[in-house]
Amino acid sequence: IRGIDEKDLGSIYGDVLPEDFLKSGLIPEFVGRLPVVGAVSNLDAEALIEILVEPKNALTRQYSRLFEFEDVELRFSDEALHAVAKEALKRNVGARGLRIILEELMLDLMYTIPSQREIQECVITEDTVVRRSQPVTTLRKAG
């Protein structure tokens, strides 16, 4: 639809009626088989961050659990979560794209951290997300 911002499309789709499909050229037999028209709106950065941390099986919890097997505490800074959400919005990949972005970040770490037994904690920072730099690590105290 010309002249309409993409962010407004979700609200417009919510007002669609079966008659609108008929006017667009769909045959009545097909439209009659669509009992419900559902419209969804785009997710914003805050919603994407909630998806990263809130659910019981949230992506950040999954990665933290994987690192726990290696006796390493994994944390994501708030700025890192914002950067991941911002990148998902920039790529226009939505919630499903969050997994792709985190996999890009975590792939090398999942192979290198287990071999470095002296690492106690690993913190994913904004710099790690934006510039793909190494995360901040804390070493175990000798003793």
Q: Could you read off the pLDDT of 96-111 as tens digits, one per residue? A: 999 999 999 999 999 9
Q: Determine the pLDDT at residue 105.
A: 95
Give the relative orientation of helices 45-53 and 78-91 as an angle to the nearest 10 degrees. 120
Q: Determine the pLDDT at residue 27.
A: 92
Tokens 């419209």: give the residue: 39
At 69, is the secondary structure helix, strand, or coil? coil
**pLDDT (average), residues 117-131:** 95
CB 83 within 8 A of CB 130: yes
Long-range contacts at 31-39 (CB < 8 A, ≥ 24 apart):
37/13, 39/10, 39/11, 39/13, 39/14
Q: Determine the pLDDT at residue 6.
A: 58
pLDDT above 70 coverage of the chain, percent? 91
| Cα–Cα separations (whole angstroms), residue 139 to 15, 17, 73, 112, 136 | 57, 61, 11, 14, 10
Return mean pLDDT, the chain: 89
Q: Is the pLDDT of residue 141 over 90?
A: no
Q: Determine the pLDDT at residue 10.
A: 64
Q: Determine the pLDDT at residue 16.
A: 81
**pLDDT (average), residues 25-34:** 88
pLDDT above 90 coverage of the chain, percent? 64
Q: How confident is the model at residue 32 (pLDDT cuts 50, 70, 90)?
A: confident
Q: How confident is the model at residue 14 (pLDDT cuts 50, 70, 90)?
A: confident
User: 55: which 2 tokens?
Assistant: 């659910």
